[in-house]
Amino acid sequence: MKKIMAVNAGSSSLKFQLLEMPSENMITSGIVERIGMSKSVFSIKVNGEKIEETLDIANHGDAVNLLLNKLIEHDIISSFDEIAGVGHRVVHGGDKISESVVIDEALIQYLEEIIDLAPLHLGPNLTGIKAFKEILPNVKHVGVFDTAFHQTMPEESFLYAVPYDWYTKYKVRKYGFHGTSHKFITQRYAEMMNKDIHDVNIVIAHIGNGASICAVKNGQSIDTSMGFTPLEGIPMGTRSGNIDPAVVEYMASVKHKPVKEIINQLNKKSGYLGLSDLSSDSRDLVSASKEGNHQAALAINVQAKRIADYIASYHNYVGGAEAIIFTAGIGENAKETRENIGSRLAAFGVEIDDKRNNCRGVEQLISTDHSKIKVYVIPTNEEVMIARDTLALL
């Protein structure tokens, strides 16, 4: 048995899980929040109980030191030597990274070169990597990339119809995100069906506050809804999804605002929140829509319509999907959302079973026995996927 740390570093946060592999049992999990600010918050689960404390944590290095020492303090490990590997979630690998890789100086240099592709995320990812490598220099560190699973997309899927040198010179193309989740679901579905992964043809709907749809053919991603950034695709909690790009110039002009501010509104003030004028949380919108709130219902239905559009297209693209998989926070828990989307796919013979669909956060077939495409809920687990890939590279 080996203990693997799965890490997700943000600009002011550090999430972690310690897993026992290959059994995939979670030993502990926690998060450091408000790094670099006053009253930072550290929380960790010990024997199922959440322990939280408030203190000042100046930087990611201090956060890593704190969490590792807390593992010893709470008798979770006896020494740092028990940690066999650390898997780091990295949001972007550009077009050169198609699988998880051991982190060395050459990889760090490459990530620094492409940091402009995702400056808000790659910078913090690199900060977390460097902090862990400094404190655990003799442990193997592995980068697990959100974009890697989608590097199997063909050119017809990932290229935009823009001047070709935008791609060759400036790397403008669809990259896709949530790849670690889509990869986990693909593997898990193959296990559930006792199938060779290369025989899996499915459409995955990863629906959380961020959301993306993925077409999986022969076990590989051949298209996905997110693009050059996570802003492309379907409407989300606060993101607009696809719009006419000319809207950006128009709104910048009429509001006398810089383009950067309009893009910020598309990222943080749109989607559920923008359409509803109420909330970015689907649960709030479902409650409000039941009380007759038109905008709340509209926000839900606009997203459901766009998701169904993608699923219908990807069903065709994979040569006939054998299954549609719902996952992530909303996909796993919101029966109303699944029913709404399923009803829009009736022309393909999709039938949602009301009784089966009345479930939350469990693996469950939710379509009827007569449904021409099976529909499942499968909870995702990106940390387990990170630990699997890390273990494979030890």
Domain ranges of the chain: 2-145, 194-382
On whether the CB atoms of residues 333 and 357 are closer than 8 A, the answer is no
- Any idea of the CA torsion for 96, 97, 103, 107, to the nearest 10 degrees? 20
pLDDT tens per residue, range 278-327: 999 999 999 999 999 999 999 999 999 999 999 999 999 999 999 999 99
Predicted confidence at residue 38, as pLDDT, reads 80
Q: What are the φ and ψ backbone dihedral angles of 320, each rounded to 5 degrees?
A: 100, 100
Residue 146 annotated among the catalytic residues of the structure: yes
Cα–Cα distance for residue pair 286/296, rounded to 1 Å: 7
* Residue 264 is labelled as binding a ligand: no
Cα–Cα distance for residue pair 84/164, rounded to 1 Å: 45
* Residue 173 is labelled as binding a ligand: no
Predicted confidence at residue 170, as pLDDT, reads 93
Predicted confidence at residue 147, as pLDDT, reads 96
* Low-confidence residues of the chain: pLDDT under 50: none
Predicted confidence at residue 35, as pLDDT, reads 86
* Residue 194 is labelled as binding a ligand: no
Chain CA centroid to CA 344, Å? 25
* Residue 382 is labelled as binding a ligand: yes
* Residue 210 is labelled as binding a ligand: yes
Among 81, 95, 146, 369, which one carries the catalytic annotation?
A: 146
* Residue 290 is labelled as binding a ligand: no
Cα–Cα distance for residue pair 13/89, rounded to 1 Å: 13
* Residue 207 is labelled as binding a ligand: yes
Describe the strand order of the beta sheet including 2-9 as a list of residue ranges: 49-55, 40-46, 25-33, 13-21, 2-9, 83-90, 140-145, 101-102
Q: Same topology for domains 2-145 and 194-382, yes or no?
A: yes
Q: Which fold has domain 194-382?
A: Nucleotidyltransferase; domain 5 (3.30.420)
On whether the CB atoms of residues 221 and 99 are closer than 8 A, the answer is no
Encoding tokens for residue 235?
């409407």
Which distant-in-sequence residues (6+ apart) come within 8 Å of 192 by Cβ? 363, 376, 378
Predicted confidence at residue 48, as pLDDT, reads 83
* Residue 227 is labelled as binding a ligand: no
* Residue 329 is labelled as binding a ligand: yes
- Provide the whole-model pTM: 0.93
Cα–Cα distance for residue pair 205/171, rounded to 1 Å: 27
Predicted confidence at residue 297, as pLDDT, reads 96
The enclosing H or E element of 131 equals: helix 119-135
The dihedral built from the CA positions of residue 210, 213, 217 and 221, taken in this order, carries a sign that is negative
On whether the CB atoms of residues 60 and 128 are closer than 8 A, the answer is yes
Which distant-in-sequence residues (6+ apart) come within 8 Å of 276 by Cβ? 285, 288, 293, 295, 296, 298, 299
pLDDT tens per residue, range 1-56: 899 999 988 777 888 999 999 999 999 999 988 888 888 889 999 888 899 888 88
* Residue 15 is labelled as binding a ligand: yes
On whether the CB atoms of residues 55 and 358 are closer than 8 A, the answer is no
On whether the CB atoms of residues 294 and 288 are closer than 8 A, the answer is no
Predicted confidence at residue 255, as pLDDT, reads 95
DSSP helix/strand/coil, 253: helix
Q: Which fold has domain 2-145?
A: Nucleotidyltransferase; domain 5 (3.30.420)
